C-alpha cells in the first residue's frame, strides 16, 4: 500500500481544455468561495491542445463578454473570406454559399490557435483563484463504498518499465471533490471506464471519430490573406471509397493552419491517413499556397463525429461529462469549441447550485436536462444525419442528401430520415484480402514529408524509462489476427509511427510499440479492429508540446 497525499476541493476538473477551463471560470463567477482545481496532463495548458481552429464565439461571449478587448489572442483574426472547394485530382469547383444552410457560414467567427485560447482562459481562471496543476494526469477514478465518484488519483512519477519505483519515485495524489467534471477530450481513458461502469451509452448510438492531422506553415506574405478560411472535400479520399476533408486557415503572424480529417469508419485497411494528408497537400490549389513556405509544427488528434445521437447520459453519481468527453462536435461546421465551453458552463451552474443546497456526490441529472434543453441540442439536432448520410451514400451523393436534410430541419423542423444509427469505427474495418494495397508516393521533403520527421515537429517527448502507456489486452492478437487478416493496420492508422511490425532476427514478425512517439491522438484505441489496444495516461508532462496549435 502506497501512502498518498489527499487534497480536498469542492470541484475537481479533469482536463485543461476549453470545456474544463470554462467550467472552472463559471464556477468561480457563480460562487467565488468554491475551491476548484483543474488537472492537465500536458506539461502546460495548451501543450496537448490541437484544433483547426475556426471558432464560433457564442459561448465565449456568454462567459467573458469583453474578451475581444481583453487581450484574447483569438480576437486577432476574424474570418474575412470563406471558401468550400470540392477537389478533383487536378482541379476544383467551389460550392456556392447560397446552397448551404445559413448556420454553415463563418461570418462572425474567428480563426486562431485553440492552444493559445486555452492559455488565455487559464490566466482568467487563475485570476479568479482557480488552482491549475499542469503535468498531473488523472490516472484513476476514485469511488466511495456506494460506487459514487469522489475524485481522481494522479499518476505516479518515477516508475520503471516493469512498474517498480525508482529512486525519484513520487506517488500520485488523491484529489477529492464533492463533484468531479471529466473534460478529457475525445476518447478520454477515464471517460471510457465511466461509460462502461454506469452504462452511460445504453440509450445512445456508439461514438464514432475522425482523425485530424494538422500542420502550421509560415507562408509567403504575398499569399497570406488574414482571416481566409478554406474547406475541401473529395480528392484524395474519393479514390479509395473513404471520406473526410481538408482545411486551410490564414491566421495571425503570416501563418496558415492546414490539415486533413479522415473519417475512421473507412473499410479498406490499407488506407493510410497520414499519407492521404500528404497527397492532399500536393493538389495544385493547395501546393500553390505552400510553395516557398516553411513548415513549423505538426500534430494529430481524434475528433468526435457521432453527433447528437451519440451523446451519452451526462451525469452519474459524483460526476459529469462535459466537452468532447461527451461529444458535442458539429461535424458539418467542423466546430466543437463553442459547444464544449457551453456544456462546461452548464455543468458549473448545476454543480454550484447543488453544493449551495448541501448536496454532494449525487447524480446531477438537472445538468443532463439543461444540456438537452440548450442551444447545444438545438444546433446538433439540425446536423445529426449529416455524417451518417455521407458515411452511407458516399461523399458526393451523401453530401447532397445531408444538405437536403439540414435544410429541411432548418426550415421545417424535420429531416429526410429519423436520426440514423452508427457502427463503431473498429467494426467497419474489413479483411485485407478484399482490397489491393495502396501505393502512396514518396515524400518530396518540401511539400510532403515522412511520418517520423513530422513527429519531430510535434515536439513530443516521453520519459523512456516508464511503463508503456499503450496496453495490449492480448499480446498475441497483433500477429495472429491483425497482421494476417487485416494486413496490420496499426502500422498505418497511427499518425506518429508508434506501431510497426519488425522481424529483427528472422524468427517471424512481431509488433513493436514505439510509445515515445505517441502524440496522444487516441486513434489506436478507436480503430484497432480487435479492440486490443488500450490507451492509458503516461507519466505527467509526457506527449506533444504544441506551441500554438
521 included as an active-site residue? yes
List the catalytic residue out of 301, 333, 451, 492.
Answer: 301
List the catalytic residue out of 23, 43, 51, 530.
Answer: 51
State the cell numbers at 139. Answer: 490516472
List the catalytic residue out of 180, 337, 350, 424.
Answer: 337
Task: End-to-end CA distance of the chain: give it in Å, rounded.
Answer: 41
Q: How many angstroms separate the CA atoms of 441 and 424, rounded? A: 30
List the catalytic residue out of 77, 409, 524, 530.
Answer: 524
Strands 54-55 and 36-40: unpaired
Angstrom CA distances, 526 to 266, 301, 488, 513, stand at: 12, 12, 15, 17
301 included as an active-site residue? yes
72 included as an active-site residue? no
Q: Please, is 537 exposed, middle or buried when counting C-beta atoms within 10 Å of its C-beta (0-12, 13-18, 19+)?
A: buried
Please tell me the chain's helix, strand, coil percentages from 3-state DSSP, rounded to the nearest 5. Answer: 35, 25, 45
State the cell numbers at 422. Answer: 452508427
Three-state secondary structure call for residue 263:
strand
80 included as an active-site residue? no
Note the Cα 211 to chain centre separation in Å.
8
Q: How many angstroms separate the CA atoms of 66 and 118, rounded? A: 16
Three-state secondary structure call for residue 7:
strand
Q: State which H helix or E strand residue 277 sits in.
A: helix 273-281
- Transcribe 54-107 into DSSP letters: EE-THHHHHH-TTGGGTT-GGGG-B--EEEEEEE-SS-EEEPPGGGS-GGG--T
List the catalytic residue out of 72, 204, 324, 494.
Answer: 494
Residue 68 CB partners (closer than 8 Å, separation 6+): 75
Place of cell 469542492: 10
Q: State which H helix or E strand residue 209 sits in.
A: strand 209-218
Q: Is residue 536 a contact partner of residue 469, using CB atoms and an 8 Å limit?
A: yes
List the catalytic residue out of 154, 399, 521, 530.
Answer: 521
494 included as an active-site residue? yes
Q: Is residue 272 a contact partner of residue 398, using CB atoms and an 8 Å limit?
A: no
Q: State which H helix or E strand residue 275 sits in.
A: helix 273-281
Q: How many angstroms separate the CA atoms of 73 and 368, rounded? A: 32
List the catalytic residue out of 183, 204, 324, 518.
Answer: 518
Catalytic residue annotation: 51, 301, 337, 494, 518, 521, 524
Amino acid at each position: 500500500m502506497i501512502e498518498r497525499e489527499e487534497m480536498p476541493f469542492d470541484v475537481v476538473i479533469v482536463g485543461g481544455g476549453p470545456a474544463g477551463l470554462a467550467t472552472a471560470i463559471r464556477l468561480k463567477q457563480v460562487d467565488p468561495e468554491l475551491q476548484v482545481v483543474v488537472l492537465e496532463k500536458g506539461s502546460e495548458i495548451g501543450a496537448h491542445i490541437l484544433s483547426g481552429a475556426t471558432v464560433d464565439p457564442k459561448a465565449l461571449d456568454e462567459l467573458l463578454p469583453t474578451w475581444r478587448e481583453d487581450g484574447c489572442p483569438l480576437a486577432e483574426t476574424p474570418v474575412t473570406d470563406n471558401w468550400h472547394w470540392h477537389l478533383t485530382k487536378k482541379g476544383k469547383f467551389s460550392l456556392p454559399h447560397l446552397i448551404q444552410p445559413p448556420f454553415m457560414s463563418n461570418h462572425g467567427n474567428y480563426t486562431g490557435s485553440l492552444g493559445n485560447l486555452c492559455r488565455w482562459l487559464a490566466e482568467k481562471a487563475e485570476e479568479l483563484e482557480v488552482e491549475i496543476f499542469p503535468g498531473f494526469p488523472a490516472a484513476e477514478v476514485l469511488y466511495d463504498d456506494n460506487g459514487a465518484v469522489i475524485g481522481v488519483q494522479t499518476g505516479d512519477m518515477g516508475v520503471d518499465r516493469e512498474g517498480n519505483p525508482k529512486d525519484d519515485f513520487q506517488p500520485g495524489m488523491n484529489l477529492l471533490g464533492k463533484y468531479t467534471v471529466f473534460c478529457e477530450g475525445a476518447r478520454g481513458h477515464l471517460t471510457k471506464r465511466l461509460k462502461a461502469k454506469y452504462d452511460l451509452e445504453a440509450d445512445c448510438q456508439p461514438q464514432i471519430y475522425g482523425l485530424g492531422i494538422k500542420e502550421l506553415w509560415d507562408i509567403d506574405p504575398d499569399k497570406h490573406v488574414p482571416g481566409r478560411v478554406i474547406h475541401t472535400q473529395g480528392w484524395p479520399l474519393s479514390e479509395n471509397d473513404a471520406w473526410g476533408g481538408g482545411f486551410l486557415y490564414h491566421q495571425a503572424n503570416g501563418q496558415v493552419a492546414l490539415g486533413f480529417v479522415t473519417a475512421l469508419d473507412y473499410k479498406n485497411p490499407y488506407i493510410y491517413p497520414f499519407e492521404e494528408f500528404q497527397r492532399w497537400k500536393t493538389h495544385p490549389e493547395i501546393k500553390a499556397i505552400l510553395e516557398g513556405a516553411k513548415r513549423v509544427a505538426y500534430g494529430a488528434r481524434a475528433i468526435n463525429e457521432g453527433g447528437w445521437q451519440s451523446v451519452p447520459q451526462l451525469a452519474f453519481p459524483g460526476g459529469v461529462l462535459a466537452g468532447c468527453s461527451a461529444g458535442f462536435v458539429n461535424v458539418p461546421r467542423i466546430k466543437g469549441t463553442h459547444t464544449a465551453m457551453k456544456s462546461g458552463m452548464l455543468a458549473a451552474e448545476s454543480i454550484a447550485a447543488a453544493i449551495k443546497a448541501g448536496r454532494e456526490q449525487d447524480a446531477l441529472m438537472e445538468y443532463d436536462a439543461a444540456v438537452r434543453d440548450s442551444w447545444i441540442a438545438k444546433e446538433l439536432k439540425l446536423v445529426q444525419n449529416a455524417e451518417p448520410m455521407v458515411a452511407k451514400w458516399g461523399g458526393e451523393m451523401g453530401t447532397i442528401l445531408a444538405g437536403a436534410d439540414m435544410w429541411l430541419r432548418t426550415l421545417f423542423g424535420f429531416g429526410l430520415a429519423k436520426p440514423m444509427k452508427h457502427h463503431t469505427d473498429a467494426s467497419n474495418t474489413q479483411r485485407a484480402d478484399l482490397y489491393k494495397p495502396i501505393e502512396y508516393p514518396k515524400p518530396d521533403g518540401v511539400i510532403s514529408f515522412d511520418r517520423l520527421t513530422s513527429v519531430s515537429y510535434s515536439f513530443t517527448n516521453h520519459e523512456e524509462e516508464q511503463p508503456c502507456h499503450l496496453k495490449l489486452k492480448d499480446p498475441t492478437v497483433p500477429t495472429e489476427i491483425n497482421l494476417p487478416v487485416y494486413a496490420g493496420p496499426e502500422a498505418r492508422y497511427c499518425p506518429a509511427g508508434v506501431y510497426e511490425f519488425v522481424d529483427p532476427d528472422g524468427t517471424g514478425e512481431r509488433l513493436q510499440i514505439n510509445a515515445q512517439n505517441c502524440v496522444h491522438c487516441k486513434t489506436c484505441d478507436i480503430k484497432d479492429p480487435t479492440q486490443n489496444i488500450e490507451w492509458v495516461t503516461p507519466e505527467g508532462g509526457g506527449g506533444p508540446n504544441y506551441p500554438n496549435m
